[in-house]
Structure 1
Amino acid sequence: MNFRQIKYFVATAETGQVSRAASALSISQSAVTTAIRELETEIGTALFTRTAHGMEMTQSGRELLALSYEILTKIDEAVNIRERASGTTGRILVATTYTVIGYFLPYHLDRIARMHPNLDIQVHELNRESVEEGLLANRFDIAIVLTSNISNPELETDTLLRSPRRLWLPQGHRLADRRRVQFSEISEEDYIMLTVDEAANTTMKYWTFGSTPPQVKMRTSSIEAVRSMVANGQGVTVLSDMVYRPWSLEGRRIVTVETDPVVPSMDVGLAWRRGTEMTPATQVLYSYFRQAFSTPQI
């Protein structure tokens, strides 16, 4: 058993699909499949049940997932002994948005806190307009935002992660077994429109791929509401892999299918005022993210 196998197993368990795990790790699907098979052989039991809609964990898989989180945490601590001893100090004012703080940032804040316990990172959740205004007014040192929504020429951005967008469907839906679904077909379904972080505006930009607009049944700022409504068969939606979970709060299954054509990704990254010289503390945070997302995946 090795770190690579554990890392690929966790990614598959969290995403529910080999293809999604491979995309998140920037590796081939065969590499993920091989790692899981090697783990199952070494442990001597199945970790997943393969279905038409993805990978469902067995009881053994769930037990290994809990242990894997502990293993990865310990590896992080071991790898970052030098960084913790560096003694970097300072306060960093960070701006972020709803989606980023809910589905991306907590894991990294925890890692940074363990690596650099003397840093004082203060996080402020705002909408994009307020984040941009705060950066330009020097109220924030840096922002972690959806860079795909940033177009202000006075701001510099560095994209870390590109999260593909796919069609979300309830299990058993007539389109669930399709490889790709055209927008003309999606327009025949009731559509659940997410509005938070400008999602509705983004949706309408790429909806021009279809010949007719979506039949919007409901608009909501709650991703969990969208998840539940889709899982319960009350409509469909197109959202990114970053906010996807295979189960609703009621325990109902959600599956995803590629759209035809493929819609633009939801990009997450860093933003700061162009020409601003970062403080040493901010540079530490910037370097952490660059290293975390530029390390070659093996």
Structure 2
Amino acid sequence: MASEQNFAQVQLLTVAEDDAGQRIDNFLLRICKGVPKSHIYRILRSGEVRVNKGRIDQLYRLKEGDVVRVPPIRVAEKPSNHVPGAEFAVIFEDPHLLIIDKPAGVAVHGGSGVSFGVIEQLRAARPEAKFLELVHRLDRETSGLLLLAKKRTALVSLHEQMRDGETDKRYLTMVAGDWRNQRQHIKLPLHKYTTADGERRVRVQADGMESHTVFSLKKKFKDFALLEAELKTGRTHQIRVHLSSSGFPILGDDKYGDFALNRELLKANEHRGALKRMFLHAHQISFRHPATGEILKLNAPLPKECENFVRSLMVDG
């Protein structure tokens, strides 16, 4: 595995087995610690980074034995922020996988105004770990099951399963509105864009990426509905935008939700308890174990605040 180093002059790096299959941009981001992400993408676009003496784009996947030319880069001597090591509730762990129950309000990785996230904290807490990578992502305000690979072979296998639609990811969410159908498919194309202040957003757009979510009604209340969302595709903010665009905003969603209702939910009233987070929780995932082939089906219980909110609605009838 390539180590972090200071690139004061041109470097020629030979790709080891552990780095094979990794995208060139992720490879550079990992080994060039202290270099802004924007600079990494700039040298990729400019053609200064070469693989086997040829130009490549940022989506190129490295092969064992590839020779990567990295131009001179000024690397910060020290990281600007110390990352405190942290462990999270472990749902499953073996030599290949680590699956945790991520709390709401914690980013999965640093960037976009966040100095560090789950992956950086876990690496700091496990300095002996030779390999630890996110298999997928969860929004910062979404809680629940998060998969990490402890071997590159596991990462490649799980990415293939996700690409081929073999994994089954399900979320629990509470929405506002009069939800009628027991089971409903929503297929709305999604387009990613960036706001004027640099915030990442998604909207429904005719030429967007094909996106498909299946929603099942778990419990209907007077003003709200508890749904299970089954992802058929895995687009950014997919569940949030599919529901919001269909007239059923997720409770507590600060990007696509009903902002006036969100303010009301911060305080309890005679009909319900308070809710001070987004009600979206990755509660179940099924996939094939990358080493044994066994089908794993894992669950993470609803966080206490969400559970208490549901119970308060049941008391009201």
- Pair in the same fold by TM > 0.5: no
State the TM-score, normalized to the length of structure 1.
0.28
| Greater relative contact order structure (CA < 8 Å, 6+ sep) | 1
| More helix as a share of residues | 1
State the TM-score, normalized to the length of structure 2.
0.27
Larger Rg: 2
